[in-house]
């Protein structure tokens, strides 16, 4: 996630370490050949590649003129953009030639001539903006800047179809100046030299009309442009509303803006605010949860529907036409819906449907013809897999907060379907990143993989998670390694009391903030977990904040300084250190795996290096895997596969579940076992290669 979040939970790799039973000695199932394992098991192993390899196709889109479809699909194992005639998908061809890192996100230019995307180098997040010409096949770097410069796509508009508004921090690493770039030629024009704003909001003419300015100790001011280079205060967002109030976009006349707004309420409402005087009208709200998504008519720019996500996504119509559309789709699709792209006339749209047991399927919806055509399934190889239900639950924290959580159980463990196993099973507490993010219902590859290996999986929306109102978000202020962690322990205790699992059968795993939570778990509450998996997690809040990228500086006051502390303040620095796992290394009692992307700009390699060094000095069991071509998480499928392959042996040793042999899952990976290679089941220390067991 951009901005102040650590990032999204992405990969969980662990391995057998001293202190756990050796999987080679623990059971015949874990030592057997693949065929023997499956014959002895009550349900077949789902191959790791089917879960964590590249999807067959993903991210379906339709061009604004309706003539083309696009999606991401592999070319020689790397995700690239494919384009096909809308009338004949078999004409699909790749229009990009990425060879190392897959394309993560793409969308169409308003004139339907180009597909735009961002790409960085080795996960360093210094993205460039690229445009692929669908006719000529030319791919143009629209931002040919230096290695240390980051580019962002700020806006496109059908009013200026051959233009894109881009932010570049080339002049000042902390600030993004705005440039208007002609997509067809690459010509750049400076629009605004940033005087110190966190960000800009452009209208439909690509003119920056609003800007966000952080004010020390008092939240954020929304500034309004006078059209001549001057800015004046238009609207104030109090400090308690900064993470829950955002400008969505302008109305057709560019005189009003839609805002997801938590001011003067708890959960975020959708409001319509006058640019002239700031008068606000509530369009939609829900007392349970924030407005999570909206549908905007591409012709009128009117919001026609909105979504709320409490335990599952719920769509609500604001117009008769939208009501008819939702009723039509609900009658034909069982999963949670999202609307991804549409034609400029608003007639056709790409709809995505997903459920826990049904990985995403993309459909082309024609509103006039009332047709719904299946485009593709994301992972057709899982069509016959024994995927498991995800059960939303509400857990009460020790101080009375409701923690919306999700449980997935192993196949065959819940014969009556009540969401509880007949007998307690080993469990993995899977902690989301952010922390300003959330867990949600749907197909979750990590949940399904762990459940298939024999574990219950519990994901908890601890305080600070977004989507449940500003009181819930702000309850995390000053609570890193405090009440935020208490919420996780309370959820584990609930699972034990509910007989989902038993004491002594729980592991903790997470990426980014989830990695920090893992380290807190094995240091602050060392008796609660049997092992831990930390992926790109910070070991010290002090060095974490001190090493943030320079372009985070404009919003640190309202986020990290507010929630965690400012290391420049001596008292706060001491408190930050005391809330850091590095301060309690001596308390670690269980095996730990640490995974790191060498180019990570958010949680730098220092965070893993210093913790591994401290553990090594005490001869504590830790294995450290570094990936030289990765950043904040593992984008390359070869790296994911190596990490997950190692994970299974570790969890089998700690909790007794099943694992699929490593086989050739190290092939093509850049993995470096920096420390503790002797603990990797199936890894030849002398050659540095997987042994194939």
Residue 337 · residue 353 · CB < 8 Å: yes
Which ranges of 345-421 would DSSP assign to H, the alpha helix?
A: none
DSSP symbols for 628-645: TT-BSB--SHHHHHHHHH
- Specify the pairing of strand 313-317 against strand 402-408: unpaired
Q: How far apart are CA 621 and CA 573, in angstroms?
A: 29
| Catalytic pick among 600, 608, 629, 681 | 600
Active site annotation includes 512: yes
Q: How many CB atoms lie within 10 A of CB 417?
A: 9
CA 514 to chain centre: 12
Tokens of 230: 């001057």
In degrees rounded to 5, what are phi and psi of residue 509? -150, 140
Q: How far apart are CA 542 and CA 353, in angstroms?
A: 42
233 CB burial (10 A radius; 0-12, 13-18, 19+): exposed
Q: What is the signed CA dihedral for 472, 476, 481, 486, rounded to 10 degrees?
A: -20
Tokens of 381: 């190889």
Active site annotation includes 632: yes
- Side-by-side strand order, sheet with 246-250: 246-250, 256-261, 269-274, 280-284
Q: How far apart are CA 395 and CA 688, in angstroms?
A: 45
Q: Which of 568, 540, 538 is nearest to 553 (CA)?
A: 568
Q: How far apart are CA 59 and CA 105, in angstroms?
A: 8
Q: How far apart are CA 16 and CA 662, in angstroms?
A: 13
Residue 411 · residue 425 · CB < 8 Å: no
Q: How far apart are CA 86 and CA 68, in angstroms?
A: 4
- Specify the pairing of strand 456-460 against strand 427-431: parallel
Q: How far apart are CA 121 and CA 258, in angstroms?
A: 35
With tokens 């800047």, the residue in question is 145
> Length of the chain in residues, anyone?
693
Q: On the CB side of 99, how many CA atoms lie within 13 Å of its CA?
A: 0
Q: How far apart are CA 334 and CA 212, in angstroms?
A: 40
Q: How many CB atoms lie within 10 A of CB 687?
A: 8
| Catalytic pick among 106, 204, 432, 632 | 632
Q: How far apart are CA 651 and CA 493, in angstroms?
A: 20
Tokens of 18: 């001293």
Q: How far apart are CA 551 and CA 541, in angstroms?
A: 19
Q: Which of 675, 599, 644, 649 is nearest to 101 (CA)?
A: 599
| Catalytic pick among 70, 512, 540, 583 | 512
Tokens of 632: 């904040």
Q: How far apart are CA 527 and CA 543, in angstroms?
A: 27
With tokens 């996780």, the residue in question is 488
In degrees rounded to 5, what are phi and psi of residue 48? -55, -40
Query: Active-site residue numbers?
Result: 512, 600, 632
């Amino acid at each position: 996630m951009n901005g102040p979040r650590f990032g999204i939970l992405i990969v969980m790799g662990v391995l057998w370490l001293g202190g756990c039973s050796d999987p080679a000695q623990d059971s015949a199932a874990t030592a057997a050949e693949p065929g023997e394992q499956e014959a002895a098991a009550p349900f077949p192993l789902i191959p790791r590649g089917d879960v964590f390899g590249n999807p067959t196709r993903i991210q379906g889109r339709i061009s604004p003129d309706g003539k083309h479809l696009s999606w991401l699909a592999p070319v020689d194992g790397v995700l690239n953009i494919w384009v096909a005639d809308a009338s004949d998908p078999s004409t699909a061809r790749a229009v990009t030639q990425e060879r190392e890192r897959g394309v993560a996100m793409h969308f169409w230019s308003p004139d339907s001539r180009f597909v735009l995307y961002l790409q960085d180098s080795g996960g360093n997040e210094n993205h460039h903006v690229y445009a692929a010409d669908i006719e000529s096949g030319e791919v143009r770097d629209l931002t040919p800047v230096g290695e240390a410069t980051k580019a962002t796509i700020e806006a496109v508009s059908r009013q200026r179809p051959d233009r894109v508004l881009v932010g570049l921090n080339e002049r000042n690493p902390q600030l993004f100046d705005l440039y208007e770039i002609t997509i067809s030629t690459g010509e750049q024009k400076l629009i605004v030299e940033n005087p110190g704003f966190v960000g800009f909001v452009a209208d439909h003419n690509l003119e920056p009309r609003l800007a966000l300015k952080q004010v020390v100790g008092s939240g954020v001011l929304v500034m309004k442009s006078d059209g001549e280079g001057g800015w004046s205060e238009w609207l104030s967002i109090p400090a308690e509303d900064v993470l829950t109030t955002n400008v969505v976009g302008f109305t057709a006349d560019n005189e009003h803006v839609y805002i997801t707004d938590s001011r003067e309420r708890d959960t975020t409402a959708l409001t319509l605010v006058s640019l002239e005087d700031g008068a606000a009208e509530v369009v939609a709200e829900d007392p349970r949860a924030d407005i999570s998504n909206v549908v905007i008519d591409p012709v009128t720019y009117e919001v026609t529907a909105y979504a709320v996500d409490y335990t599952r996504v719920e769509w609500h119509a604001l117009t008769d036409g939208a009501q008819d559309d939702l009723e039509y789709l609900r009658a034909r699709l069982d999963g949670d819906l999202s609307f991804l792209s549409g034609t400029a006339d608003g007639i056709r749209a790409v709809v995505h449907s997903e459920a826990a047991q049904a990985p995403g399927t993309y459909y082309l919806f024609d509103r006039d013809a009332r047709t719904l055509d299946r485009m593709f399934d994301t992972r057709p190889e899982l069509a016959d897999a024994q995927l498991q239900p995800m059960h939303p639950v509400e857990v009460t924290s020790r101080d009375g907060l409701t923690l919306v959580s999700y449980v997935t159980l192993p196949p065959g463990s819940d014969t009556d379907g009540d969401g509880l196993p007949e007998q307690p099973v080993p469990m993995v507490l899977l902690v989301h990143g952010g922390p300003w993010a959330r867990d949600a219902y749907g197909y979750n590859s990590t949940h399904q993989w762990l459940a298939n290996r024999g574990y219950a999986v519990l994901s908890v929306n601890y305080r600070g998670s977004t989507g449940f109102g500003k009181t819930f978000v702000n309850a995390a202020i000053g609570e890193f390694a405090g009440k935020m962690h208490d919420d996780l322990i309370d959820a584990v205790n609930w699972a034990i009391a509910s007989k989902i699992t038993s004491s002594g059968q729980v592991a903790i795993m997470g990426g980014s903030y989830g990695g920090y939570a893992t380290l807190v778990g094995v240091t602050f509450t060392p008796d609660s977990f049997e092992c831990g998996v930390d992926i790109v997690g910070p070991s010290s809040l002090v060095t974490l904040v001190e090493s943030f990228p320079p372009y985070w500086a404009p919003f640190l006051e309202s986020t990290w300084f507010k929630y965690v502390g400012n290391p420049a303040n001596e008292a706060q620095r001491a408190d930050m250190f005391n809330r850091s796992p590095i301060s309690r290394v001596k308390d670690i009692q269980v095996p730990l795996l640490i995974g790191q992307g060498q180019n990570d700009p958010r949680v730098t390699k220092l965070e893993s290096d210093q913790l591994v060094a401290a553990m090594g000095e005490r001869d504590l069991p830790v294995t450290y895997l570094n990936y030289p071509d990765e950043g904040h998480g593992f984008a390359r499928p070869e790296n994911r596969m190596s990490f997950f392959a190692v994970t299974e042996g570790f969890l089998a040793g700690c909790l007794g579940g099943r694992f699929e042999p490593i086989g050739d899952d190290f092939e093509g990976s850049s993995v470096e076992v920096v420390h503790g290679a002797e603990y990797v089941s199936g890894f030849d220390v002398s050659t540095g290669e997987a042994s194939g067991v």
